[in-house]
Amino acid sequence: MIELKNAAVATSEVCSAARPAEHSGYYHGVTRRAIRAGKVSVSAASAATADALTKCLLADHGKTNVALLESFDARLLAYEFHP
């Protein structure tokens, strides 16, 4: 159980069966390489921030960016990466 007070949680999963048909997948914003695996959950002050941070962590292919999370006062709740 996760207790939230004035916060939000977001989860992103690359290979979700529930992904809408119009969703074209995840890509690294700089290199444009496809992100093919991973699932991450983040807690932050807003849903938009939490969601954006999930994408950043997925783009790092399993490397937890502690400084990035700290700069947004966010918490990594769960992470799975199986290449």
Three state DSSP letters for 23-82: CCCEECCCCCCEECCCEEEEEECCHHHHHHHHHHHHHCCCCCCHHHHHHCCCEEEEEECC
Q: Is residue 63's pLDDT more than 80? A: no
List, in sequence order, every residue forming a beta bridge with 27; answer none if it has no partner: 34
pLDDT of 14 reads 78
- Give the N- to C-terminal CA distance of the chain in Å, as an integer: 28
Instruction: Report the percent of the chain where pLDDT is more than 70.
Output: 72
Nearest CA among 21, 43, 25 for reference residue 34:
25
pLDDT of 13 reads 81
**In this predicted model, what pLDDT tens digit does every residue of 25-51 receive, in sequence order?**
666 667 777 777 688 999 999 999 999
4: confidence class by pLDDT, cuts 50, 70, 90:
confident
pLDDT of 45 reads 95
